[in-house]
Amino acid sequence: MRLEHICRVNESDILGKHVYGDDGRILLKAGMSLSSAYIKRLEELGVYYVYVEDERLEDIDIVDEKLIVLKQATMKSLKNISRGIGSIVGSCGDEYLENMDQLLNYIMEIEDVNKCLNDVKTHDNYTFLHSINTGIMSVFLGMSLGMKKWAVRELGICGMLHDVGKIKVPAGIINKNGKLSDEEFEVMKKHPIYGVEILSKNYKIPASAIEGVEQHHEKINGKGYPYGLQGDEISRFGKIVGICDVYDAVTSDRSYRKRFEPNQAYELILSGSGSQFDEKLVRTFKETFSVYPLGCCVKLSNGVEGYVISQNKGFPDRPIIRVLYDHETRKPVRFYEINLLEKINLIIQCVI
């Protein structure tokens, strides 16, 4: 399976991963042959990258059917909460928390970050996949930090509900196609407070998760919001979710800006170490997540292009790639692999 920019997808390519709607429904199913009409539809949905099947990369297996079902249920729950169809309080709230718990428990069980992230985001499903991805990343960061299972579970809930307060922010601000005015941003900055107001009504949501929701936009240099907290005034959950929130947000295409390249997003987090983000957490973040997702095509400093097939633990920007084409003629070659940990003279220039 390879991850391709939509402009490089060909008719008759086979879709490798489902494309979801905002409620977890499958809009385009994995295994479908991509006609020109389907490719156009993907572009209309705001899809810039999709996974397509490729027998030369069949060892890249990041599809987990159980995980898909659990994510669908959680996406539906988040959508219902956001649209006021269900409340986080009462029997509906219990059902939503159960959906999140099942997803979080399974993530902790499989312990494979490559299977848990990199779903196809559209304009419509961005909000809910972003919340789920922030929760998933927070879980893996928590496990890397050696946190107890119960604490990781609470951290995951915090990550998945971190933006719930946006329910109370006017839709015109949330969906604005462009930079917010100063007045609009002041309204947006209240969403962590709104999140506390909403979540505090459900006694089953841990206080630690609610505190993290309230503080996920605080920065250790005191330049965050809503309170301008500094250093250890910010809870551990707030610091962790804050890092994961920023990383997933900037690596996603939005209507008003293009996404950051993976290495740029990584550099953004690293450059914020000690100023915006806690230094220890940033170090653990670097050890936990890889820069380039499995299946993506990268261009090396010598002009060769290849697909990421494996990661080198502890070296997030030095994966193993598989070369399928001659980089000058684009003709298929007998594929071979390059381990960038062994080829120190080569670097990745960009994602294709």
Predicted TM-score (pTM) of the model is 0.89
Gyration radius from the chain CA atoms: 20
Separation of alpha carbons 251 and 117, rounded Å: 12
Q: What is each CA distance from 58 to 2, 33, 53, 282, in whole angstroms?
A: 9, 17, 7, 33
Residues 6+ apart with CB under 8 A from 315: 340, 341
Residue whose entry in the numeric block shows the structure tokens 């960009």 = 350
For 311, the token pair is 């990661």
What was the pLDDT predicted at 329?
85
Sign of CA dihedral 263, 264, 268, 270: positive
pLDDT in tens, the chain (352 residues): 888 888 889 998 999 988 887 777 888 888 999 999 999 988 888 888 889 999 999 888 777 889 988 998 998 888 887 766 456 655 556 788 899 999 999 999 988 888 888 777 676 677 888 999 999 999 999 999 999 999 999 999 999 999 999 989 998 898 888 888 999 999 999 999 999 999 998 878 999 999 999 999 999 999 999 999 999 999 999 999 999 999 998 887 665 556 777 788 889 999 999 999 999 999 999 989 988 989 999 999 999 999 999 999 888 889 999 999 888 888 889 999 999 999 999 999 988 8
Letter for the amino acid at 241?
Answer: V
CA distance 47 to 307: 20
**In 111-170, which residue ranges form alpha helices assigned H by DSSP?**
113-116, 126-144, 149-160
CA distance 30 to 16: 5
Structure tokens at 8: 């490089």
Question: Is-contact 212 130, C-beta < 8 A?
Answer: no
How far is it, in rounded angstroms, from Cα 224 to Cα 269?
15
pLDDT score of 85: 43
Q: Could you give the C-alpha distances from 67 to 30, 113, 133, 238, in angstroms and in order?
A: 14, 12, 13, 26
Q: Using CA atoms, how far apart are residues 4 and 351, in angstroms rounded to an integer?
A: 10
CA dist 78 and 312 (Å) reads 34
